[in-house]
Amino acid sequence: MIITGNVNGLNAVQYVASINDKDYKHNIDQILYVDIDPKFNFKSEPTADGSPVLRIQGTSSTLYARKNYRIYTKKTNLYLGCDKNGEGGVLQDDPVYAMSNTAAPVNCFCLKADYAESSSSHNTGFANLVQDVLTSVGDLTPAQEYKNSEYPYEVRTTVEGHPCLLFARETLTSTPKFVGKFNFNNDKSTEDVFGFLNINGYHDTYEEELADAARKSLYFPEDFTSVTVEGKVYNKEAILEILENNPTECWEFLNNESRFGIFKDVDFTSTITETKIEEDKDGNKVTTTETRLEWLDCWEARFPDEDVLNAAFEAGVRPVYLEAIAEWLQSTDTTEATNNPLTSSVVYNGVNYTIDNVEYRKAKFTNEVSKYFDITFLCDYYVLNDAVAGADQRVKNMMWAFWYDPNAAEHEIMGKMRCYPIYYDNDTILGVNNAGAIAINWDANEETKYPNGSYVFAGHDSVIWKNVRELLSAELANSYKKIRANMSNSDMKQYFNT
């Protein structure tokens, strides 16, 4: 791939890297991609309405010498099937690109430098492995299961990606300069790829049910009136309209240190207040105080990622399904059993529980987990994570997606919405830790520690994974047998030796 653009003598990639701000978007002159198969070559160039755009991707990327980048082709002229010099090709009616025969065409992509993992096979290799293995064993999200022939593309739970050498040049006649080896991936924001919306056979077939679940997906405090975004006022009904009758959600876990992320403290009304002392332009020290909702430090909406919704969350609106699952998990924490009498007795499998003790909390989890999760997907996530020693994917970097499952039992809060844990950031697998060092042995487990006493696997005390290990052993065994039968050693070598 060659990116063309010039700012003050720097090529566009150098310039964007020097700005080092993931929110900064820079218009460029051309994106030229040359594939092994020429039919996948493309060229994106400016129009009167817009230009190709380059920006840094990811907060952690700003800390590295080699950046990850996002590229956008929206509002450009996109030519498919050009030659290696960018000549020829067919101008597309819609400036979107599909990176393979089965890929959904989109207009945003991620160039992953994989700075913390030099083989460049972990992130994309594992993503491709997970997609292929889960579909081969028939473990599917509702969007995957119900899509019909009218939707001709693959629905994935992970990104698709391919190895790519990135070059940059100042002008179309300049000699391209090598930037580095990257992976050319779907971006996590391309919701079409992941079945979050507009899947024929699913979103249209269950239109009424999805609309009902969408209206129930947000809790508005009694004192909520509206939020204002870019000068426009949005009340409750206007905010709900943004969902477009689609209750599908995906939440990214942001923080290994958050007690929310391990379900030890999940009060969605609790706040954090921080005081900062900074210098103004005249050198005077200025004290500012910021108060924010604590749960927003743990989770970020991957879909729908809308400014209005994010403003509503900051104003106290709460995501019903995420909050319900977090509160339920906290209530199953066996380490926090109070041994106090229950408000009312509860019967599980013929046993009457009257005390909030360990046995009651175990029974609550095993008997109610299917009301919140797709158990198969939950166990598949853990088995795959354990298989590759995914040390940094049990809190931070997890993605929890929520879909309406037509076959699920009704629940008083969740309805038929269920959680499906899915994979995104896969650097820290196969022995690599979060600092990019090969520091984890093949036999590491949840109790393994580093020499400094910290646990190798993030989220050691997480309620969800402790309960899964201890209380879903039969389901884990089933997932392992099924997955291992479709994931041989030679298969794994093929994905990771790219």
On whether the CB atoms of residues 105 and 191 are closer than 8 A, the answer is: no
| Pairing of the two strands 249-253 and 30-33 | unpaired
CA distance 256 to 392: 8
Same domain as 146, residue 264 = no
CA distance 381 to 400: 11
pLDDT of residue 498: 57
Give the helix/strand (H/E) hosting 418.
strand 417-422
Tokens, residue 325? 């699952």
Number of domains the chain is built from: 2
In tens digits, the chain (498 residues) has pLDDT values of: 999 999 988 999 999 999 999 889 999 999 999 999 999 999 999 999 999 999 999 777 777 778 999 999 999 999 999 999 999 999 999 999 999 999 999 999 999 988 878 788 888 999 999 999 999 999 999 999 999 999 999 999 999 999 999 999 999 999 999 999 999 999 988 998 999 999 999 999 999 999 999 999 999 999 999 999 999 999 999 999 999 999 999 999 998 989 999 999 999 999 999 888 887 777 788 888 889 999 999 999 999 999 999 999 999 999 999 999 999 999 999 999 999 999 999 999 999 999 999 999 999 999 999 999 999 999 999 999 999 999 999 999 899 999 999 999 999 999 999 999 999 888 889 998 877 888 999 999 999 999 999 999 999 999 999 999 999 999 999 999 999 999 998 988 888 875
Length of the chain: 498
CA distances from 8 to 5, 12, 15, 52, 170 (A): 10, 10, 9, 19, 10
Domain assignment present for residue 195? The answer is no
End residue of a domain, out of 186, 217, 232: 186
Same domain as 225, residue 176 = no
Helix (H, G, I), strand (E, B) or coil at 344: strand
Domain assignment present for residue 420? The answer is yes
Domain of residue 101, residue span: 2-186
On whether the CB atoms of residues 178 and 3 are closer than 8 A, the answer is: no
DSSP string covering 223-256:
T---EEETTEEE-HHHHHHHTTT---EEEEE--T
DSSP string covering 12-53:
HHHHHHHH--TT--EE-SEEEE--SSGGG-EEEE--SS---E
Specify burial of residue 497 (Cβ count, 10 A radius: 0-12, 13-18, 19+).
exposed
Same domain as 218, residue 87 = no
Same domain as 123, residue 270 = no
- If you search the block for the tokens 């992953």, which residue do you land on? 112
Domain assignment present for residue 198? The answer is no
Q: Residues 6 or more apart from 344 whose CB is under 8 A from it?
A: none
Amino acid identity for residue 85 in this structure = N
Q: Indicate the angle between helix axes 473-485 and 375-387, nearest 10 degrees.
A: 60
Same domain as 260, residue 171 = no
Domain assignment present for residue 118? The answer is yes
Helix (H, G, I), strand (E, B) or coil at 113: coil
Same domain as 152, residue 71 = yes
Same domain as 162, residue 297 = no
pLDDT of residue 407: 96
CA distances from 394 to 131, 344, 439 (A): 19, 34, 18
Same domain as 237, residue 160 = no
Tokens, residue 279? 């210098």
Same domain as 260, residue 133 = no
* CA 210 remoteness from chain centre: 22
Q: Residues 6 or more apart from 60 whose CB is under 8 A from it?
A: none
Same domain as 114, residue 261 = no
Helix (H, G, I), strand (E, B) or coil at 323: helix
On whether the CB atoms of residues 434 and 428 are closer than 8 A, the answer is: yes
DSSP string covering 76-131:
SEEEES--TTS---EE-SS--B-SSTTPPPBSEEEEE--TT-TTS-HHHHHHHHHH
Same domain as 255, residue 166 = no
CA distance 304 to 246: 9
Domain assignment present for residue 202? The answer is no
Specify burial of residue 19 (Cβ count, 10 A radius: 0-12, 13-18, 19+).
middle
Same domain as 255, residue 127 = no
Give the helix/strand (H/E) hosting 498.
none
Domain assignment present for residue 446? The answer is yes
